[in-house]
C-alpha cells in the first residue's frame, strides 16, 4: 500500500466531515450533492482496495454489522428526567415566580427557549471524541442500546470536531422531518407497505429497528439540547453557551432556539412559535423554557423526576368532533367492567382515533354520553384520547341513557358496583375468559414474570383453545401444542418454551406483582417482600395477622384486606402450589439481600431531597441491600440530610454518625452500582 492511499483516505474523511458539518450544523452547504457523492464514492473505492484503512469513524461505516436479535439494556448514570408541563400562561408565570423566589431574584430571569420536538429522546456517549454508545430514554433510568441505529443518522457525527472532552454524554431528540416523513409514506404506499400515522411514530419505529440497514434508509435527524456525564471539560456559564460548544464540536442543535428575557419573553416566544408551527420543517407540540445560567440550574435542582429549572409549555390539545357509534363494556383482569365509546374514526392530534375509554359508569352518567351522540374528542397532552363533552343540540331523538349491564358481557356472571366505588366488577373471577386472559397477560408482563414472546394475540389463542386457563398452565405447555397454534412454528415455539424456563427463576417482588392481587402494584410488592422476606410469612400475616401488613410502609388497611381475601381463596393457594410444582422458584428477599453490596448497612433519611423523593431514595438504597431505618442510633452507618433535616441530623452529629448530603448519597449509590 502506498503512503499516498493512507493520506488520501485521511483527507477524504476530513473533507466529508467538514461538508457534513456545513450541511447539517451550519445549514450552509458548500458543494452540490453530486460533488459530495463523488467524494464518498472515491473513499469507498479506496477502502475497498485497502480494507486495513477502514476506521470506525469513517463515513462509509455508518451502517455496520448484522441485524441484532434484541436491544441491550443501558443504565443511565445520570438519569434522563422528564419535564413538568404547563398548559396556560398562568402555569408559566407560576413556574417563573417559583424560580425567582428560590433563587432570591427580584428581577427578570434570562431563559433559553427552544421548540419541543415531537420525537424520541436519546443519549449518546463520546469517548476521546469518538461515538461509543447511544441509548433511548426508556424509563429515565434504563433505556435500550441503539448505537448501531444512531450511527446511521447522517446529521450525527461519528467523531467530534476539534478538542472534545475526554468523556461527553450529549442528549437530544431524534425526529423525522416532515418532508422526509411524506417521502417515506409515499414510497411505502407505492410498494404496498404500511404507512406511518405521524412523524413521531415513524421516528420511534425507525430508531427501534433491529436491522440498522432499515434505519439507515429512513430520513432521521437529531438535535442536541443538553448533557449527561462530562469529564475533561468545564461547562460554560450559560445554556446558550453550552449549545454553542456542542455546535462547535459538530453536534447539530435546533436553529429556532433563542435566549429570551423574563416571563414576557417566554410567552412572546411561545406565541411566535405557535404562529410558525405549521411552517416549521419538523413537528412540535410546544416549547421548552430553561433558565439560562447553569449555576442557577444547579441551585434549583430537581423535584421527583423533573428539574425545577425547566418547563415544557404545551400547545393546546387538538380537538375534533365525531359521532359515538356504540358504547361497549370491556372486562379487565381484576373484573373491572369499563365502558368504551366506539367512534366514527376521526383524525385528531396526528392520529386516527376510533375508540376512547369512558373510565367508569359514573363518568358516563356525569357526561351523559349516549349512543348516536356527537362528541368532542381531544388528545390530552397530545397523547391520550379523551371525550371532552357531548354536543347535546345534535343528539338524535332516539338516544337513550346508558345503563350499567347487570351481567358480564363475556361470561354473563353478575356485575356488582359496591356502594361508594366508581368501578363495577364482574363476579366471575377466573371462570370469566376475559379476566383469565388479562390475568395471564399480566402474569407474563415485563415487570412481572417477564416471559418474552407471550403477547396479547398468543395469550388469546392459548385461552380460547383451552390450553391455558391459569398462569400455572403456561409451564405445562409442550412444543406439539404450540406448533398447532396460528403463526407459531417450531422455532418460535422453542423460543417461548425457553422463555418460560428462564422465568422459573424469579424474585419474590416479581412473583407478588405477577399474581395480580388488587391494589398490589410494583412498589407495594417490593415493600411487602422487603418487610416479610418470604412468601409464607406474608401469607401467614395476611390470613391471621393483617395488622402486621398495615405496619408496612405505604401499605394500609385496603391492601391488607385485599391480601387477606386473595390468600383466603382456595384457587389462589392452589395456583401458588402448582407454580411450585412446575419448578417456579423465588428466593426469599433476605437471601438475595445478603449478597448485595450494601447488605448490613443502615441508612436514615431526613429532610427533603431535591433530585428524588424519599420513596425513590429508599428504593435505590434497598435495591443495593441497605436497610432504611426511621431513627438514628449508634448502629446507623449513614444519615442522609436534605433540606430542613431536623433533630435526626443533630443526633447523628452527637453520635458521630457520618452525614451525607444529596450529592454524597448519589456518590454512594453510584459507587456500589458498578
112 pLDDT tier (thresholds 50, 70, 90): very high
Nearby residues of 24 by Cβ (< 8 Å), 6 or more positions away:
154, 155, 221, 252
458 pLDDT tier (thresholds 50, 70, 90): very high
Residue 69 lies in a domain: no
The mean pLDDT of 187-215, rounded to a whole number, is 83
Question: Which of 21-35, 127-141, 258-272 shows the lowest per-residue confidence on average (mean pLDDT)?
Answer: 21-35
Instruction: State the distance between the two ends of the chain, measured CA to CA, in whole angstroms.
Output: 44
Verify that 633 and 574 share a domain, yes or no.
no
Verify that 641 and 557 share a domain, yes or no.
no
**pTM assigned to the model:** 0.53
Average pLDDT of the chain is: 86
Residue 420 lies in a domain: no
CATH number at residue 343: 2.40.50.140
Residue 595's pLDDT is 65
Backbone torsions φ then ψ of 18, nearest 5 degrees: -65, -40
Nearby residues of 54 by Cβ (< 8 Å), 6 or more positions away:
47, 60, 61
Nearby residues of 629 by Cβ (< 8 Å), 6 or more positions away:
602, 603, 604, 636
| Domain boundary residue, one of 503, 537, 563 | 503
Residue 415 lies in a domain: no
CATH number at residue 563: 1.10.150.20
Residue 589's pLDDT is 63
Which pLDDT tens digit goes with each residue over 460-498? 899 888 899 889 999 999 999 998 888 788 888 899 999
Verify that 403 and 512 share a domain, yes or no.
no
Residue 412 lies in a domain: no
CATH number at residue 660: 3.40.50.10190
Residue 132 has pLDDT above 90, yes or no: yes
Which pLDDT tens digit goes with each residue over 55-72? 777 877 776 555 555 678
Query: How many other CB atoms are there within 10 angstroms of residue 631's CB atom?
Result: 8
Residue 67 lies in a domain: no
Verify that 165 and 287 share a domain, yes or no.
yes
Residue 6's pLDDT is 83
Residue 27's pLDDT is 63
CA distance 414 to 423: 14
Verify that 218 and 343 share a domain, yes or no.
no
Question: Which of 83-97, 362-376, 509-523 shows the lowest per-residue confidence on average (mean pLDDT)?
Answer: 509-523
Residue 103's pLDDT is 94
Nearby residues of 293 by Cβ (< 8 Å), 6 or more positions away:
110, 237, 238, 239
Which pLDDT tens digit goes with each residue over 541-573? 988 888 888 888 667 788 888 898 888 888 888
Verify that 98 and 212 share a domain, yes or no.
yes
The mean pLDDT of 281-303, rounded to a whole number, is 92
Catalytic residue among 116, 290, 314, 627: 116
Verify that 533 and 494 share a domain, yes or no.
no
Long-range pairs of 299-305 with CB within 8 A, sequence gap ≥ 24 = 299/102, 299/103, 300/99, 300/102, 300/103, 301/610, 301/611, 302/81, 302/610, 302/611, 302/612, 303/610, 303/611, 304/612, 304/613, 304/616, 305/79, 305/81, 305/82, 305/140
Burial of 607 (0-12, 13-18, 19+ CB in 10 A): middle
- Contact in structure between 621 and 596 (CB atoms under 8 Å): no
Range from 18-32, 43-57, 393-407, 582-596 that averages highest in pLDDT: 393-407
Residue 430 has pLDDT above 80, yes or no: no
356 or 446, greater pLDDT: 356
CA distance 215 to 222: 13
Collapse the DSSP code of 74 into the 3-class scheme (helix H, G, I; strand E, B; otherwise coil) and give the result: strand
| Domain boundary residue, one of 296, 314, 332 | 314
CA distance 24 to 404: 58
Verify that 337 and 270 share a domain, yes or no.
no
CA distance 534 to 146: 38
Nearby residues of 182 by Cβ (< 8 Å), 6 or more positions away:
none
* Structural domain count of the chain: 6
Verify that 613 and 488 share a domain, yes or no.
no
Residue 615 has pLDDT above 90, yes or no: no
Residue 115's pLDDT is 96
Residue 167 lies in a domain: yes
Residue 626's pLDDT is 79
The mean pLDDT of 161-178, rounded to a whole number, is 93
Residue 30's pLDDT is 77
340 pLDDT tier (thresholds 50, 70, 90): very high
664 pLDDT tier (thresholds 50, 70, 90): confident
5 pLDDT tier (thresholds 50, 70, 90): confident
Verify that 179 and 293 share a domain, yes or no.
yes
| Residue in the block written with cell 429508599 | 618
Per the structure, the complete domain to which residue 662 belongs is given by 602-673
Verify that 580 and 612 share a domain, yes or no.
no
Residue 171 lies in a domain: yes
523 or 117, greater pLDDT: 117
| Domain boundary residue, one of 571, 593, 615 | 593
Residue 176 has pLDDT above 90, yes or no: yes
Verify that 577 and 650 share a domain, yes or no.
no
Which pLDDT tens digit goes with each residue over 77-91? 888 888 888 988 999
Which pLDDT tens digit goes with each residue over 341-353? 999 999 887 678 9
Residue 443 lies in a domain: yes
- Concerning whether 10 is annotated as a catalytic residue, the answer is no
CATH number at residue 33: 1.10.287.610
Backbone torsions φ then ψ of 233, nearest 5 degrees: -160, 140
Residue 623 has pLDDT above 90, yes or no: no
CA distance 427 to 432: 8
209 or 383, greater pLDDT: 209
Residue 674's pLDDT is 47
Amino acid at each position: 500500500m502506498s503512503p499516498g492511499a493512507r493520506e488520501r483516505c485521511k483527507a477524504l474523511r476530513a473533507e466529508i466531515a467538514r461538508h457534513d458539518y456545513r450541511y447539517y450544523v451550519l445549514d450552509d452547504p458548500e458543494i452540490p450533492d453530486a460533488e459530495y457523492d463523488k467524494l464518498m464514492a472515491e473513499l469507498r473505492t479506496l477502502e475497498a482496495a485497502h480494507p486495513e484503512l477502514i476506521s470506525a469513524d469513517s463515513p462509509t461505516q455508518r451502517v455496520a454489522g448484522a441485524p441484532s436479535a434484541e436491544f441491550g439494556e443501558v443504565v443511565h448514570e445520570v438519569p434522563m428526567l422528564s419535564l413538568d408541563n404547563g398548559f396556560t400562561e398562568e402555569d408559566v408565570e407560576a413556574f417563573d415566580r417559583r424560580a425567582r423566589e428560590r433563587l432570591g431574584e427580584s428581577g427578570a430571569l434570562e431563559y433559553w427557549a427552544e421548540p419541543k420536538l415531537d420525537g424520541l429522546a436519546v443519549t449518546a456517549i463520546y469517548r476521546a471524541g469518538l461515538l461509543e454508545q447511544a441509548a433511548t430514554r426508556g424509563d429515565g433510568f434504563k433505556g435500550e442500546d441503539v448505537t448501531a441505529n444512531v450511527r446511521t443518522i447522517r446529521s450525527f457525527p461519528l467523531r467530534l470536531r476539534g478538542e472534545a472532552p475526554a468523556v461527553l454524554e450529549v442528549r437530544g431528540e431524534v425526529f423525522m422531518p416532515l418532508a422526509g416523513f411524506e417521502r417515506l409514506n409515499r414510497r411505502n404506499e407505492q410498494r404496498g407497505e404500511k404507512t406511518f400515522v405521524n412523524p413521531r411514530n415513524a421516528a420511534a419505529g425507525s430508531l427501534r429497528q433491529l436491522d440498522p440497514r432499515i434505519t439507515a434508509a429512513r430520513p432521521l435527524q437529531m438535535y442536541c439540547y443538553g448533557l449527561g456525564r462530562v469529564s475533561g471539560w468545564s461547562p460554560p456559564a450559560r445554556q446558550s453557551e453550552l449549545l454553542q460548544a456542542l455546535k462547535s464540536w459538530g453536534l447539530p442543535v435546533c436553529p429556532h432556539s433563542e435566549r429570551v428575557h423574563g416571563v414576557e419573553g417566554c410567552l412572546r416566544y411561545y406565541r411566535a412559535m405557535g404562529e410558525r408551527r405549521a411552517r416549521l420543517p419538523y413537528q412540535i407540540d410546544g416549547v421548552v423554557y430553561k433558565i439560562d445560567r447553569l449555576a442557577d440550574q444547579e441551585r434549583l435542582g430537581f423535584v421527583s423526576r423533573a428539574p425545577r429549572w425547566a418547563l415544557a409549555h404545551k400547545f393546546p390539545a387538538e380537538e375534533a368532533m365525531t359521532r359515538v357509534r356504540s358504547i361497549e363494556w370491556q372486562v379487565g383482569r381484576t373484573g373491572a367492567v369499563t365502558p368504551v365509546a366506539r367512534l366514527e374514526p376521526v383524525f385528531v392530534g396526528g392520529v386516527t382515533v376510533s375508540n376512547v375509554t369512558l373510565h367508569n359508569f359514573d363518568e358516563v352518567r356525569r357526561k351523559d354520553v349516549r349512543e348516536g351522540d356527537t362528541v368532542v374528542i381531544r388528545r390530552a397532552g397530545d397523547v391520550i384520547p379523551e371525550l371532552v363533552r357531548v354536543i347535546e343540540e345534535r343528539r338524535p331523538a332516539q338516544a337513550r341513557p346508558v345503563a350499567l349491564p347487570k351481567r358480564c358481557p363475556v361470561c354473563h356472571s353478575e356485575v356488582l358496583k359496591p356502594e361508594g366505588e366508581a368501578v363495577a366488577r364482574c363476579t366471575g373471577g377466573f371462570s370469566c375468559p376475559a379476566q383469565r386472559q388479562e390475568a395471564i397477560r399480566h402474569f407474563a408482563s415485563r415487570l412481572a414474570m417477564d416471559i418474552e414472546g407471550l403477547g396479547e394475540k398468543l395469550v388469546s389463542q392459548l385461552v380460547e383453545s383451552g390450553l391455558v386457563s391459569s398462569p400455572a398452565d403456561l409451564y405445562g405447555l409442550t412444543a406439539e401444542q404450540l406448533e398447532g397454534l396460528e403463526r407459531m412454528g417450531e422455532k418460535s415455539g422453542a423460543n417461548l418454551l425457553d422463555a418460560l424456563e428462564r422465568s422459573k427463576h424469579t424474585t419474590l417482588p416479581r412473583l407478588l406483582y405477577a399474581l395480580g392481587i388488587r391494589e398490589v402494584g410494583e412498589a407495594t410488592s417490593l415493600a411487602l417482600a422487603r418487610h416479610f422476606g418470604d412468601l409464607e410469612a406474608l401469607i401467614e400475616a395476611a390470613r391471621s395477622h393483617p395488622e402486621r401488613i398495615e405496619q408496612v410502609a405505604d401499605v394500609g388497611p385496603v391492601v391488607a384486606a385485599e391480601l387477606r381475601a386473595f390468600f383466603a381463596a382456595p384457587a389462589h393457594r392452589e395456583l401458588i402450589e402448582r407454580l411450585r410444582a412446575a419448578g417456579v422458584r423465588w428466593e426469599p428477599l433476605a437471601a438475595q439481600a445478603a449478597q448485595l453490596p450494601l447488605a448490613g448497612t443502615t441508612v436514615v433519611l431526613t429532610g427533603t431531597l431535591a433530585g428524588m423523593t424519599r420513596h425513590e431514595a429508599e428504593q435505590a438504597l434497598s435495591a443495593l441491600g441497605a436497610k432504611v431505618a426511621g431513627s438514628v442510633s449508634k448502629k446507623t452507618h449513614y444519615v442522609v440530610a436534605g433540606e430542613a433535616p431536623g433533630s435526626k441530623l443533630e443526633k447523628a452529629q452527637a453520635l458521630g454518625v457520618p452525614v451525607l448530603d444529596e450529592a454524597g448519597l448519589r456518590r454512594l449509590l453510584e459507587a456500589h452500582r458498578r
